[in-house]
Amino acid sequence: MTGNKGKFEEARIVLSKFGIEPHMIDLDIDEPQTDSIDYVSKVTALSSFDALKAPLFVEDAGLFIHALRDFPGVFSAYVYSTIGLDGILKLMEGISDRTASFKSAVGFTCPAISPRVLLFEGKVDGTIAGSPKGSGGFGFDPIFISRDSRVTYAQMKAEDKCKTSHRARAMESMGAYLSSHLELIK
């Protein structure tokens, strides 16, 4: 469940390894306003299931900048759409601690598998670059450098990002779990 083509493409690449072919659906579901990406994923999955009555997953993610007390966090999409990369970099001016984390929470619901929403999480630690670099990816990808890399997510090929990103880690966990339940989600 997403209207974000970049998120969908990452999910498609990762889940294809498990024989899962996701379909992109953009529902107009209100997300709860909270400071927890886990809660947003769970509640949005339940609301989406109520609308579609079909197995589905939703993903919520955030960039958590440690020196900014984990801002923008769960509000990352809003912050990106309002102040963008330049705004975040302006907030980081003069700050030497550039450590950050990208976190992803995937809420999956299918009553035939579980009566509750299953949550799969992924996290990647890294740093905020001094300036945007690269033209790939989306969102804050041009300023995030994973701890295990020397380039931003936006400088990576999609296939390489999908080997290490926060979203890929959450999708890998979900794909591994669902691979033994494929007959129930088709």
Predicted TM-score (pTM) of this structure: 0.91
3-state secondary structure (DSSP) of residue 24: coil
Interval 35-57: pLDDT, tens: 899 999 999 999 999 999 999 99
Tokens of residue 45, six digits: 């999955």
- Which residue among the candidates 38, 60, 70, 86 is catalytic per the annotation? 60
Joined together, the tokens standing for residue 154 give: 């936006």
Report CA Rg, the chain.
Answer: 16
Domains of the chain, earliest start first: 5-185 (3.90.950.10)
Tell me if residue 141 is catalytic.
no
pLDDT tens for each residue of 85-142: 999 999 999 999 999 999 999 999 999 898 999 999 999 999 999 999 999 989 999 9
105, 170 Cβ separation under 8 angstroms: yes
